[in-house]
Amino acid sequence: MASFSIEKHGHVALLQLTAAEKRNLLTPESALQIAAAVHQLSLDDELKVLCVMGTERAFCAGADLAVLQHAADGDGTELRQLYQAFSQVADSPLLTIALVNGPAVGAGMNLAMVCDIRLASKEAWFDSRFFQLALHPGGGHGWLLPQLIGWQQAMAMLFCGEKLSAEQAWQYGLVKEVLAVEQLLPRALAMTADLAAVPTALVRQTKSSMRQLVHCKEHSQAVEFEYQQQFYSLQQEAARQAVAALQQKLATKD
């Protein structure tokens, strides 16, 4: 039985974790199912946005302790499987939005951090929690966190056990907005409504480009790279029509 559900709202897909009785813990089975579902969604040419949300009291409370126990006994297979859930979201060509409805802990915090945008409910909070279990951070946590909230606060969370409330997460830039929980999905749909008119290929091309641009060492490299991408987009019918329509509109005003 799947521990999540998928709904489609036009060009937006909502993947909602539904193991509320376990506070949406990630298990190897659920992680692999989520990874497969996210990959399948990326093959849908109508989709441009993927929202990820928890159910009831939690966004995702982290990893199933059985996975950690098996790794402690010397078998890391399930631990690697667990990573597949947020790794697939991280690699998605879709615009990804975490709708953090409640606590995001450990691996659950990873699931939120790999998304492009995070909206949080007032009941949400963020906790690395690795040291409490005498664990080294995993799943890219120590790489992502300083990028998102800065070195100093990342160290405070990882080494000093500090948690961030939704409001604090907003202050540090970890989340874009703090809303009532029932407003999370409507806000995500409103934010991305204009993407309905943007070609799917362009949305995905631009996300891919932004990932590659972070590796440019100089502005001139970025300019040349974007020239190639922009020139290609101008050859597409959607851009030709949009440019022609604007030219006609301006000519009419004159």
Confidence of residue 254 (pLDDT cuts 50, 70, 90): low
Amino acid at 4: F
Cα angle: 104, vertex 9, 15; to 5 degrees: 30
Is-contact 63 24, C-beta < 8 A? no
Mean per-residue pLDDT, 172-197: 98
- Which pLDDT belongs to residue 136? 95
Residue 1 has pLDDT above 70, yes or no: no
Mean per-residue pLDDT, 147-168: 97
pTM over 0.85: yes
Residue 249 has pLDDT above 90, yes or no: no
Residue 153 has pLDDT above 90, yes or no: yes
Confidence of residue 242 (pLDDT cuts 50, 70, 90): confident
CATH class of 4-195: alpha beta
| Cα 238 to Cα 103: distance, rounded to the nearest angstrom | 42
Dig out the tokens for 138 from the structure. Answer: 């995993």
Residue 146 has pLDDT above 80, yes or no: yes
Question: Can you give the C-alpha Rg of the chain in angstroms?
Answer: 20
Mean per-residue pLDDT, 236-253: 88
| Cα 233 to Cα 137: distance, rounded to the nearest angstrom | 40
Residue 84 has pLDDT above 70, yes or no: yes
Phi, psi for residue 98 in degrees, rounded to 5:
-90, 125
- Which pLDDT belongs to residue 157? 97
Dig out the tokens for 48 from the structure. Answer: 């441009």
Residue 27 has pLDDT above 90, yes or no: yes
Where on the phi/psi map is residue 192: left (φ > 0), alpha (ψ -120 to 50), or beta?
alpha
Mean per-residue pLDDT, 137-152: 96
> Domain map of the chain by residue range?
4-195, 198-253
